[in-house]
Structure 1
Amino acid sequence: MKKPTLLLCAVTLLCNLSLLKVSATEYTNQEVVSNLQHNALKSDLAYKIAESLTVEVGPRLAGSHENALAVDWAEAKLKSLGFDKVYREPVTVPVWQRGEASAAVIAPYPQKLIITALGGSVATPTQGLQATVIRFNDLQSLIAAEPSLVAGKIVFIDQKTERHKNGSGYGKSVGGRANGAVEAARKGAVAVLIRSIGTDHDRMAHTGLMHYQDGVPKIPAAALTNPDATQLDAMLTRGHEVTLALKMTPKDLGTTTTYNVIGEVTGSSKPKEIVLLGAHLDSWDEGTGAIDDAAGVAIVTAAAKLIGDQPKRPARTVRVVLFAAEEIGLIGGKAYAAQHQAEMNDHYIAAESDFGAGRIYRADVKVNSAALSAVQQQLSVLAAQGVTNGDNQARGGSEVSLLPAYGVPVASLRQDGEDYFDYHHTPNDTLDKIEPAALAQNVAVYASFAYQMAQSILPLRPLTSGSK
């Protein structure tokens, strides 16, 4: 009986040593994470990055000269911060120029209205157009309307955007912006106006991408400021026909090449495996693109820089991807997925910062359900920054939302977006809307998340059925 006893003792000893090794590793990870959080909270690096991008480049619409400057800026910035590898990858994008946009009530209460063209809109005839207005509460009401009621008119979609911490009101109302022109044109409308997809009360219109469809006439599409939408609604409730004059001069200038800009902090023992941190480099042309998305660029760049400055690198490579042309259809994200399809199995997990600079309060993931509890345990280090564990239904952020289709696990580090849509896609998206302390908290969370995931031994794949 001695040999079995000795064997049992040996196995027990090996198990205990293994547990001690895991415990020691976890202790070391927590020590590093604590250091990362401390350094992030006392650093102004992220704010300086956001300031640099918004001041030295400013608005950077995809395909524009300013966007080309932003690509050069990003490559130089990543190199100056000491990333191990910095490179750019080409992306073909359409070039659209906003031009001018004006609207006025001709009758019965003549006055000017403030509008802006929606991204990708065609122009009005050179002399402009005049037509009566027909109002709809939302896109669904327009779809259900009799074509005879709409033909020859300017459609006005008057759906208000609800204010929510998680930004969910945007999803409820954005359909009118995206698809209003198609549905209005199907019924013979000559133009479409939408109430701005925003929660503000400023007389500043919110732009954003709209779509056309092959086989359906292209009509001009614009957004009214929220006060002007309320004014137009008040006119219509008086029972008289309201006639508008509309003039817009946007242009389609073909296509050009821009770039995704990528920087890497090389992993120490698993350098081919990737923890991806994303943000988008482009912005709309109305403000300076501060909360959308210089803040995200700053957060993920500063987080990776802090990890790279640690005495010992984590096991996996931390890859920062500053995506091109997010605002005009996730074009940079689609290009990245196509160009990196062969290495998708090497992407351990991905997350993207593209919701301003509000404090992060919750961490959702999309991983194999069997690993969820263990992943949440690893992410419990975020509790020091006020972050709780969420669910297993994360999208990951704009471009990163494309990656689960390739089997890539993702995380959504949820920011407080209570006021995000006050400024989103408006001239008011400027640097003063970023709170430095909140930005630093984001960096602390992203750095902690990325380091933990770069060190993790958990199998996160395959994704839970239906995660696509």
Structure 2
Amino acid sequence: MQRPTLTLLAAALMLATGLACATDTPTTIPAAAVHTAEQLRDKAMHDDTAYQVVASLTTEIGPRIAGGVNDPRARAWAIAKFKALGFDKVYTEPVTYPLWVRRSEHGAIVAPFPQSLSLTALGYSPGTPKGGLTAQVVQFPSLEALKAADPSSVKGKIVYIGYRMHRTKDGHDYGIGAGIREEGPLVAYAKGAAGFLLRSAGTDPNSRTPHAGVTDFTDFKHPDKAVPAAALSNPDADQLERVLAYGKPVTVKLDLDCGLAGTYTGYNVIGDITGRKYPDQVVVIGGHLDSWDPGTGAIDDGAGVAIALGAAKLIHDLPQRPDRTVRVIAFANEEMGLWGGRAYADRHAAEVGKFQLGTESDLGAAPVWRMSASVKPQARGAIEQIAKVLEPIGVAYDPKRPGGGGSDLSQMHLKGMAALSLAQDATYYFDWHHTANDTLDKIDPQQLAQNVAVYAVFTYMAAQADGNFGSAPNAFAGDGADD
């Protein structure tokens, strides 16, 4: 008889069926955890830890351009702050990147109506030749128009694109403005231009504060394959356009002392509140520690670091530690190309299955108004439980949108980490973003506290969930997440 063979086959089928059922088991959040999350939410709305953190960072350290003089000071500040707030494990991981330095910048219309221009050099821009660069300006209405232009109309000239951003709650115009800033200089170089100017990627119509930001000049082995590039403040862009409208040749002089200066090793600063039951499984939140240099980096992204630390501190102070580890990361050098996020994702890609859920705050400190998620189908119910706790403080759940994880943690999401997107109201964020006006006074303490409440709720509920949210290698490839 072949009974043993049939028995083994039946057993194998039963095992496979059981594994499938286990895989399909819905992820849920226990009622006790929901109740605690509601208490965390209410407490967070009256907690000022995050505001004290961002006030400390912007006052004691100030601007934090990656690799600049304040970079090591900011790192030491972060390590000390993590320890003071009770993280039981605080450590750093190296991040090496090209060092770009800004020393001075000047611009002026030379003819037909001489006058100065308020501008700032863009990240990875080379400097101008000694004595500056003087050339005629050629204007294009869009990046697409520049791409379609005959190179002979561009060669030897300074290209200018004047796209104007408008205020919107979701900040969607920034995708266009940042695209021009990043790609425009590359296109201008390829067509033989001498330089590149754009209207700042910002929404402040009346302030002569240009907006910094990075370009796509990332061929670091050939830094000469680039042209000097700068952003004009909105009023100065208006003035240049009025001059151009006269129909006469317009000449501009750029004098930018900036450029690459070797490489630099910075560090991601990481703090863990170690989980009680599953210490190797982590819920990860954070912000980036670096900022652009004109302001003090309050909304971009001191607020993000502070929100994550404030949320983690509230969880730390509960009578019992969470089941899973809560990890906060203060990322290095996000502004010049997600260097900290990419380094972290590369280093931890093999562990992506241990990442329960994550997202980063990097859109200021105005209230969170929308949540979306990229999770396995069996975890949608748990996301709805989180959404229900957040609804009373103004957060709407959009089940049709994916979650991207925020700026730096988008890189872990690309590796397969389940992720949220927690959209803040960006109506005024791009008035101050990357400018000298990015200072502490732009943060409303009560609005910041609402952010902390959101992060504390989702972090705690994810840490206490029965089941996971679907993190696995390449689990969310092609989900269309866009932060």
Fold shared, TM-score > 0.5 on shorter chain: yes
2-side partners of 1:134 and 1:288: how far apart? 34
2-side partners of 1:165 and 1:98: how far apart? 32
Deviation at 1:89, TM superposition (A): 0.7
Matched, 1:229 2:229: no
Matched, 1:397 2:401: no
1:296 corresponding residue in structure 2? 304
Deviation at 1:255, TM superposition (A): 1.0
Percent identity between matched residues is 48
Q: Which structure 2 residues correspond to residues 8-27 of structure 1 after superposition, within 5 A?
A: 26-27=30-31
Q: 1:111 to 1:266 in 2, by over 3 A?
A: same
Q: Which structure 2 residues correspond to residues 335-354 of structure 1 after superposition, within 5 A?
A: 335-354=343-362
Amino acid at match of 1:28: A
Q: 1:379 to 1:458 in 2, by over 3 A?
A: farther
Matched, 1:318 2:330: no
Matched, 1:39 2:43: yes
Q: CA contact under 8 A between 2:30 and 2:466: conserved in structure 1?
A: no
1-side partners of 2:104 and 2:386: how far apart? 52
2:52 corresponding residue in structure 1? 48
Deviation at 1:467, TM superposition (A): 2.1
1-side partners of 2:73 and 2:106: how far apart? 30
Deviation at 1:94, TM superposition (A): 2.0
1-side partners of 2:477 and 2:192: how far apart? 43
Q: 1:464 to 1:262 in 2, by over 3 A?
A: closer
User: What is the aligned counterpart of 1:208 among 209, 213, 219?
Assistant: 213
Q: CA contact under 8 A between 1:62 and 1:93: conserved in structure 2?
A: no
User: What is the aligned counterpart of 1:410 among 419, 424, 428?
Assistant: 419
Q: Which structure 2 residues correspond to residues 105-254 of structure 1 after superposition, within 5 A?
A: 105-201=109-205, 202-212=207-217, 214=219, 217-254=225-262
Which consecutive unaligned segments of at least 5 residues does structure 1 have? 1-21
CA displacement, residues 58-96 of structure 1 (integer Å, 9 cap, x when unaligned):
001111120110000000000011111110111112222
Q: 1:207 to 1:133 in 2, by over 3 A?
A: same
Deviation at 1:465, TM superposition (A): 6.2
1:466 corresponding residue in structure 2? 478
1:17 corresponding residue in structure 2? none
CA displacement, residues 191-233 of structure 1 (integer Å, 9 cap, x when unaligned):
0001000000210000000122657831100000011101111
Amino acid at match of 2:289: L
Which consecutive unaligned segments of at least 5 residues does structure 2 have? 1-25
TM-score (normalised: structure 1): 0.92
1-side partners of 2:29 and 2:441: how far apart? 41
2-side partners of 1:225 and 1:206: how far apart? 7
2-side partners of 1:212 and 1:444: how far apart? 39
Deviation at 1:347, TM superposition (A): 0.4
RMSD over aligned Cα atoms: 1.7
Q: 1:151 to 1:323 in 2, by over 3 A?
A: same
Q: CA contact under 8 A between 1:98 and 1:251: conserved in structure 2?
A: yes
1:15 corresponding residue in structure 2? none
Deviation at 1:161, TM superposition (A): 1.3
Deviation at 1:450, TM superposition (A): 0.3
Stretch of structure 1 that moved more, 321-330 or 158-167: 158-167
1-side partners of 2:479 and 2:124: how far apart? 32
1:450 corresponding residue in structure 2? 459
Q: CA contact under 8 A between 1:351 and 1:396: conserved in structure 2?
A: yes
SS of 2:371's partner is strand
Stretch of structure 1 that moved more, 124-133 or 205-214: 205-214
1:440 corresponding residue in structure 2? 449
SS of 1:88's partner is strand
Stretch of structure 1 that moved more, 101-110 or 355-364: 101-110
Deviation at 1:390, TM superposition (A): 1.4
Deviation at 1:349, TM superposition (A): 0.8
Stretch of structure 1 that moved more, 349-358 or 339-348: 339-348
2-side partners of 1:450 and 1:412: how far apart? 13
Stretch of structure 1 that moved more, 185-194 or 452-461: 452-461
Q: CA contact under 8 A between 1:150 and 1:188: conserved in structure 2?
A: yes
SS of 1:98's partner is strand
Deviation at 1:434, TM superposition (A): 0.3
1:378 corresponding residue in structure 2? 386
SS of 2:293's partner is coil
Amino acid at match of 1:467: D
TM-score (normalised: structure 2): 0.90
2-side partners of 1:120 and 1:101: how far apart? 14
